[in-house]
Amino acid sequence: MVKTIFLSVIKIFIICIFFISNASTETQNFISVGENDAPVKIKVYSSFTCPHCANFHINVFPKIFEKYVKTGKVKVMFIDFPLDLAALNASKVLNCIDNNKQMAVMDLIYEKQKEWTNGTSIEEINIKLKKIITTSGINSDKIDQCLVNENVENKILNGRIEGSKKYSISSTPTIIINEKKYTGSNDFKKIEKEIKKNI
């Protein structure tokens, strides 16, 4: 598994270098919840194979959603920052399915993270990922199409490059609150303090 992840990271790096010359500014590559005119905009750069990202999505984001997104005070944007090939593949599937299913599938991918990321090869991991996503009603053939969709892959990698350049991202999750990089712990109460400063 360690060797697989290492090779995947190398591949991601090589692909990013290849596409950097084609990276546009502010690629619209995110899933969002909340009102566009919310006073607080939060960007969450995350990788689907990152345990800390799963913890944030499962334990912290729901509290932000209930208290601040539902009340129109916060808009949250989830931006892909894949750290390995498995995360990239999960992002590709998420970004090419119907918009109205994306949040539910994102929840599922994070909730079942330990199940689908445990494999000795990317092929095995893809099979487990597909099995989990099909439980949400996504057709297996559609998932296969997503996994080979180069346009979606390019968009994700360009967005990763832009985020890295603009915010000096080196780990996930990286949280940006009203264009300012948040450097505290991923604890709801501490993030809430930053939110309140911007309301």
User: Residue 169's domain spans which residues?
Assistant: 2-187
Look up the CATH number of the domain holding residue 42. 3.40.30.10
Contact 12, 154 (CB under 8 A): no
In a domain? residue 70: yes
In a domain? residue 192: no
- 6 Cα distance to chain centroid: 20
In a domain? residue 197: no
Q: Give bridge partners of residue 177 from the DSSP assignment.
A: 42, 180
pLDDT in tens, the chain (199 residues): 544 444 444 445 444 444 433 333 344 568 999 999 999 999 999 999 999 999 999 999 999 999 999 999 999 999 999 999 999 999 999 999 999 999 999 999 999 999 999 999 999 999 999 999 999 999 999 999 999 999 999 999 999 999 999 999 989 999 999 999 999 999 999 999 999 999 9
Number of domains in the chain: 1
